Amino acid sequence: MFSARTPSSVGTDALARLSWHDFEHLLAEHYRDQGWKVEYRSPPASLKQLEGAFDLRLYRGNETVIVQCKHWDAAEVQLHEVNELLGTMLNEAATRGVLVTRGRYSADARAVPRRQPRLQLIDGDVLRAMLKLLDHLDTSIPGMALPTVAARGRGRPRRASDRETGSRLLPVLLAAAIALLLGLFVWHAMSRRVEPVPPPAATDKAAGTAPATPPAAAAPVATPPPPPAAALPPAPAPEPSISRELQERARLRESKDTGSSPESRRQAEDAMKVMERNTREVGSAD
């Protein structure tokens, strides 16, 4: 079944220089990168062992895809070879099928996927986009997208090495960041040292630098106590007329009490009444 036709005109590029083993290995790695589990149909020891129906079986979830690469070096793949893959898909109960070549397909062969969407034809241009770093082609079928960047066989160890380097650098960078933050915290704490507070007791030296004491509120003026009674000025002496009347009244009272005649007592009483009336008039005049 292997078509030993003349290779395509682009037989001097890197894809044309690949051996069969390298080609199949890169194709399997490509599908592994897409999340497929790859199973070889038979150990690819030589081209004669590729006479089987397909070369790779892919598994992902409930999907099963068969990949046929036996026409990989054909200049042009014809319609009957595409129909053979459709029959193999039915026999293997595959959900999808992929036919790979580094050449091209005839017009009749290219018309088949339009009638059978489960079939994907990969020619040399699409294959170069899959296995090289090209992102300007998009020939994916529904449910199976092609990558924009193809992974070569030696690319996987390099990516793993990059991940290991990143995993080693992450703890170092984290420790450096923590140390830097601790240093900044210590420096900030040292720069904010509290100045010593001066003692509360005032001294002669500290008197000049001590803050001015706010003026105290003015004390209320106390009312002077009244002067003692002894300090009061003497009462003015009674007038002479009043003094004489008082003396005369005392004399008349004495003469009344000494047992004089009734006439004398009556006169004394009249004189006392007159003196009392005069005394009241004098008081009211004052």
Q: What is the pLDDT of residues 38-79, one digit of tens each?
A: 988 765 455 544 444 567 889 999 999 989 887 667 788 889
If you write DSSP's letter for every residue of 233-244 in order, what string do you get? Answer: PPPPPPPHHHHH
pLDDT (tens digit, 9 = 90+) per residue, 79-127?
Answer: 988 898 888 888 888 999 998 888 899 999 999 999 999 999 998 888 8
Q: Which of 110, 136, 108, 112 has its CA nearest to residue 123?
A: 110
pLDDT (tens digit, 9 = 90+) per residue, 244-279?
Answer: 767 777 776 776 666 567 777 777 777 777 777 776
Please provide residue 224's backbone torsions phi and psi, each rounded to the nearest 5 degrees. -65, 140
Q: Write out the two tokens for 100.
A: 């790979």
- Please state whether the predicted TM-score (pTM) of the whole model is above 0.75: no
- Which amino acid appears at position 277 of this protein? R
Identify the pLDDT of residue 114: 92
**Pair 18, 29: CB distance under 8 Å:** no
**Pair 82, 109: CB distance under 8 Å:** yes
Q: Strand locations in 185-286, DSSP E?
A: none
Classified by CATH at the fold level, domain 20-158 comes out as: Trna Endonuclease; Chain: A, domain 1 (3.40.1350)
- In this structure, the number of other CB atoms found within 10 A of the CB of residue 67 comes to 25
**Direct distance between the N- and C-terminal alpha carbons of the chain, in angstroms, rounded to an integer:** 166
Query: Which segments of the chain does DSSP mark as H helices, in order?
Result: 20-33, 79-92, 107-115, 124-131, 155-191, 204-207, 240-257, 262-285
Domain ranges of the chain: 20-158, 238-285
**From CA 58, how far away is CA 40, in angstroms rounded?**
9
Identify the pLDDT of residue 136: 36
**From CA 112, how far away is CA 71, in angstroms rounded?**
17
**Pair 131, 15: CB distance under 8 Å:** yes
**From CA 276, how far away is CA 10, in angstroms rounded?**
168
Q: Write out the two tokens for 46.
A: 């030589």
Residue with tokens 């999340």, as numbered in its chain: 35
Which DSSP state fits 192? T
Residue with tokens 């004052």, as numbered in its chain: 286
**From CA 249, how far away is CA 165, in angstroms rounded?**
142
pLDDT (tens digit, 9 = 90+) per residue, 151-197?
Answer: 444 444 445 555 666 677 888 898 999 999 988 888 888 887 655 55
